[in-house]
Structures are given as C-alpha cells and as structure tokens.
Structure 1
Amino acid sequence: MKLKTSPENVFEWLALRLNLVPLPLLHGQMFPVIAKAVLLAADKGVFHAVEAGLESAEAVAATCGLQVAPARQLLNVLASSGYLSCKNHRYRLSPMARKWVGSKSRSDLSDLLVYNNRVVWKWMEHLETYLETGSGVDYHKSFNKEEWDLYQNAMRAVARSEVEEFARKCPVPEKARLMLDIGGAHGLHVKALRARYPALEAHILDLPGALDVQEEPGEDSITTIQGNILETDLVPESYDLILMSSLAHHFSWEENRFIARKAADALKPGGVYVINEFVNPEHADRKSGLVGTSSNLFFGLTSTSGTWTIAETQDWQKEAGLKPLKPIGYAAIPGRFQIPARIASAKNPG
C-alpha cells in the first residue's frame, strides 16, 4: 500500500501520465490546508459533534465555538476529503470517519490528531533549521506535564489502531512466561498479548514522565519500571519476549546496537526480540513508501534520528548474536513492520 495521487477517471489518468497535473500545487497548497482542517476538526470536536447528530453548519458552529461561514467551509473540505457525506447541506460521518475519528470506535485516532494540532504542528517551523544545522527538536527532553499527557494519549490512540493485528502476528515463543515492553507505558501491546496468552506476565520499562501520566495497569501480572533502556540494567536470561515498539526511530545507530545487545543478554534461550516500527525503504524513489520516507524526515526533525531500513535493523540484531526471523508487515498500516529475531535455544558460554 502506498500513499499517492490516484486518478478517478481515464482523463485524469492521462493527465498524470502526460505530466499535465501540477502536483506541487497539490502538495504545497492543498495538502497543508487539508491536513490542518482534519487536525482542527478533531481538536475542536467537529467530528464528534457530527457523530452526535449535529448535521448543519449552524449546529456544529454553535457547539464547537466556531463562526458559521468558516465552519461550513471546513465541513465542505472534510466532505471532499472523504470524512463526511453532505446532502442538502446536512453532514454525516462517512464509514471511514466513524472508524478512525468516531468516539465510539476502538480505533479512534482523535487523540493523535489533537496532539499533532497542539504540539507537532508548531515543530514544522523548525524544519528549515533542522535541514540547515542537523539540530532537531528532541522533544522528550522539553515536554511539560500537559504535553506529556497529550503525547501519551496520542501513543495510546496509535497503539489501539494496531494492537489486535500485532498480537495475532507477534512470534511469541511457546510457553512464554515473562516479557519486557520497552517504552510501552500505555500497556496496550502487553494487554493485547495477555488476552491471547493469559499465562504471560509482563514488565513495562518507560521514562518517569511517561509512566506518571498513566493509570495503573490494574493487573498483578503487569509490573511497571521507571527507567531508561540506555541506563537501566536488565537481569540476564530473564525474558522470553522483549518488545520495543515505536522507539528505534528515537535512537542513533550505536544506541540501537547497544539496546539489541542488552536485549540479547536478557533473553532466555529461544527468546525473541521484536522491534515494531515504521521502516525506511531500501531505495528512495516513487515506488518506495511515502510513509517510510516522510516518517524518516519527521523523526529526524523531532528526535534527531529517524526511521531505519529492515536490513539496518537486522544488522543490530545479528551483531548481538540474534538470528533474524521473517519481518511481519501490517495489512492496514503501510510501511510498518514487526522485525523479530531469536536467540539461540542454548546460548554459547562466554
């Protein structure tokens, strides 16, 4: 699956083939407007207002604190973008929107959109500085309490969109009893795995700022540990499964190698280390995934690192003495993979 401009009829197909479509106009003028419209619609409660039955621009404007004319313009952009249907100036959520921004859906991404609107959008102004100096935002070091709350809510929203498929496909070793989730303060990956493997207990290791804004796991079999994977000691040969989800893009090459070695030492014989990530495509061209390349630039800006290719990720694992297993893609999330590797059934002494 790729994100791209797709023609809707033969004339548009021909125009694209003949290079008659001004793609920079779409990318530079229209896409930013659409992106900001979607973010504001989530932040101002527009999607949830329409979901609740407020179908007119007047009703939405009154509920969300907007002016009627601009609200109608916003609603029309959302309709053109596939989030709403519009008939006789009455608006309703589309099936796509009901799943991804509807308050009753387990896949609701509204918290991510709110976070992107209030926190991430302003980071885009730093992109020029990053390109000129190589200095990114490195936001984990600067978050205040409100921003940590917004960030963790966003991470929960992202995790909810994948945890069922993650748990179904994750290569959990047979008779696994204890796992470590590195950076998974929200606990959703752990709980999804425990729903399939009830005997599996878990440790969740994350920064104090991340754990402080979370509710208690509510399960005796889940233990939280405040710490930093770069600094916190792990007990050798203690875990059957180690997961690091959406963190490798925050770390440098050397840091990811170091973490892989720590994971290998902490795995029991036959244990598995899974890196769950958006990946950078091996070759950057129009056939490669826009999700991977744009994520690489975004995480370079925001955490001074970026996404990694599958081959690079497996290099860390192999250097740590792990044997890479087949990468596992997600059916509905382009460019995202579980990249697992297994320790030998019997570790070599020394």
Structure 2
Amino acid sequence: MGFIVGPWLAQAVRAAVDLNLAEHLAGGPRTAAEIAAAEGSDPDATARFLRACASLGLVTATGNGFAGTGTLAVLHRDAPLSLRDLAASQSSPTMWQTWARIPEAIRSGEAQTEKALGMSFFDYLAAHPDQGAIFGAAMASMSAPIIAQAVEVIDVSGARTVVDVGGAHGSYALALLAKHPALDAVVLDLPHAVPGAEAAAAERGLTDRVTAVAGDFFKAVPEGDVLLLKFILHDWADDDAERILLNCRDALRAGGRIVITEIVIDDRATGMAPLMDIAMLATSGSRERTLAEFDALLGRAGLRRTTVTALEPPYSVIEAVAA
C-alpha cells in the first residue's frame, strides 16, 4: 500500500510547498484557519490537509494549532539545502505526465515525453520558461550537496577557465570560483537559462568572473581548461552523449580535462539510482551508466578516464583527458 499511494504522498508535499507551510510555521504553531486566511485556501480543506500532513510527519498537532517538524523545515525556501524547488518540479504535471507512461517506456525502450507533452523534454522547457525556471532551480538545489563534495576533490591546478557545460544557473562553476579566486568561468546553456545564470553570478558577487553564454552543446562548447559535465550525460542516449563529449574534447585547451559528475550504477545498486535510471528512460530515452559504460563512451569520443572519485552514493566524479 505504501508503494501504491506514493502519488498521494508526493502531491501532499507539493501542496505543502504551494501553501508555504514551512514558511507559515517557521515562527511557531498556527491554526488551520490562520493558514487558510493567509493563503486564500478553503478553511475546511486546509484543516483536513494539515491533519494529513500530521500523519506524514510534516507537522504535529498542538493545543493551539499545528507546528512544523524538521521534515517540513527542508521545504522552507531559505533552508540550507532546501528541497522546496525540487519538490515543486518533480511533482509538477510537466514531470508526471511523462512518468505516467513508464509502463509504455519499459515495453518500448523509448522516451515518452513527446507523447505526453508533444515535444522533447528540453524543447518543452524552452517553450515554457516558467517550467524551465522551476526545473533549473530544482537541479540547483538537488546538486548543492554533491557540488559541495565535488569541489573538494577536483584538481584545477594550472587552470584559468572552467566551462560549466549545460550548467543551468552555473552553481557548479560558482562553487569552484568561490574556492579558487584565480579562476574565471563560462556557463553554457540554452537561452532560457542565461538570465538565471547571470542572476546567480550577481548574487554571489562574481559577475566580473562569469560569462553566461547561450548555445547548444551539440554544436560547440566554449574553450576551457576544465570542462564540467554535471548530470548532463544521463539525459542523453549514447550517440548523443558521444557528440557532447566530442565537442568537449575539441574545446579542451592543452593539458585540460573533463570532469563528469554523475550517478555510477551497477547491478547491485539500491535506493535512488535504479529508480532514476527508469525515470531517465521515460523522460529522454537515456540511462544511468556503469563505470564500464562510461569508459566505453569516453573511448568512442577520443577520451581516456584518469580518475574516479566516489562522492555520497550513488554519485562519483570521473575525470578524463584527450586520449
């Protein structure tokens, strides 16, 4: 039953984000009527929803209303490593219309986004900037703990320019620049992502060291010493991933390296990784890869793996150079 009602749980979290429960309860308990008045929601439905949230451990019932829990706190927009944007994105109709077709994806081995949304996933985000912004913010929040670990192990000795390939808001590059004052960065992504990257650089006071570039990594990648590919290759089937890597190899300066940050999966994988693999199949016809599959992909693109460093499971940093 827990598996079967999983959609109810995800949509309850989405509703908690939509009603700003974490923000309303950050200062202490409030009644359902107070929250309903603040949000303009139906008072009876809001009370029933808070009762459901109590059953899930998002809130606790008190003598004078409801209080937030530590679980709810991670949905606060200002929480360290907040999951608010991720919850809003992953439980949105944009994602769920595709995931409702997972059985069809498994039967056919093909992506289902065009059948669900009428176009490919990234074309859809480009055509719907509001959804693109939500997705970009979600990827930034999901990436934050992985980036924090990765920047501690990435070798940037001798480098001047890092290129965040498909970098969305440029979170990865910005973290490296904060740690290494001598670096500058280029953030490459589709046009809809550029304003977010520029805003993120300005917020961190790094505008003079960051250039946000609108482009297509299937056509060309800006030249750099360290090219970052974070959660990029798993979006694409092997032929497309090979094209991306070929363009990255062409963009490498002498002595440069490509840094791939991805899930590395194996047949004994548990937890999120095997489920993410199926989500990628349905969304884009792509996959999570084993280390052997990464090596084969790198070899076809004229690259050679030099190191692999495990991060918080199931993520790893793979470094590669021109073969």
The structure that has the greater radius of gyration is 1
User: What TM-score do the two structures reach when normalised by structure 2?
Assistant: 0.84
> Shift of residue 343 of structure 1?
4.6
Unaligned runs of 5+ in 2: 114-119
Report if the CA contact (8 A) 1:173-1:270 is conserved.
no
Tell me how far apart the structure 2 counterparts of residues 258 and 35 of structure 1 sit (CA, whole Å). Answer: 36
DSSP 3-state at the match of 2:239: helix
Q: 1:337: Cα distance to partner?
A: 2.3
Which residue of the partner structure matches residue 164 of structure 2? 181
Whether the 8 Å CA contact 2:227–2:248 is kept in 1: the answer is yes
1:340, CA displacement in angstroms?
A: 2.1
Could you tell me whether the CA contact under 8 Å between 2:307 and 2:319 is conserved in 1? yes
Identity between Structure 1 and Structure 2 (%): 22
Match of 2:135 among 142, 151, 160: 151
The one of 76, 79, 91 equivalent to 1:105 is: 79
Q: 1:28 matched to which residue of 2?
A: 4
Residue in 1 aligned with 2:261?
276
How far apart in 2 are the matches of 1:114 and 1:52?
23
CA distance 1:282–1:197, shift in 2 (3 Å): same
Q: Deviations over 1:308-339 (max 9, x none)?
A: 22321232224423233123222xxx422222
Worse-matched range after superposition: 179-188 or 105-114: 105-114
The AA in structure 2 aligned to 1:271 is G
In the alignment, which residue of structure 1 is the partner of 2:25? Answer: 50
Q: Pick closer, same or farther for the CA change 1:343–1:26 going to 2, 3 Å.
A: same
- Of 282, 286, 289, 1:308 maps to 289
Amino acid at match of 2:26: E
Other structure's SS at 2:78 match: coil
Local SS of the residue matching 1:185: coil
- 1:162 corresponds, among 146, 150, 157, to 146
1:198 alignment partner, SS class: coil
Counterpart position of 2:231: 246
Residue type at the aligned position of 1:304: G
Q: Count residues with an aligned counterpart.
A: 307
Distance 1:324 1:88, change over 3 A: farther
The correspondence for 1:325, drawn from 284, 294, 307, is 307
How far off its partner does 1:178 sit?
1.0
Which residue, 202, 220, 233 being the options, matches 1:232?
220
> Relative to 1, partners in 2 of residues 1:323 and 1:310: Cα closer, same or farther, differing over 3 Å?
closer
C-alpha RMSD of matched pairs (Å): 2.4
Counterpart AA for 2:308: K
Residue of 124, 127, 140 corresponding to 2:99: 124
Calculate the TM-score normalised by the size of structure 1.
0.79
**1:201 match:** 184
Structure 1 residues 152 and 101: alpha-carbon distance in aligned structure 2, compared to 1, 3 A threshold = same
**AA aligned opposite 2:212:** T
**Alignment counterpart, residue 337 of structure 1, candidates 311, 316, 319:** 316
Inter-partner Cα distance in structure 2 for 1:192 and 1:139? 27
Letter in 2 for 1:223: T
Take 1:75 and 1:278, find their aligned partners in 2: how far apart are those partners?
36
What amino acid maps onto 1:220 in structure 2? D
Structure 1 segments unaligned to the other structure (5+ residues): 1-24, 345-350
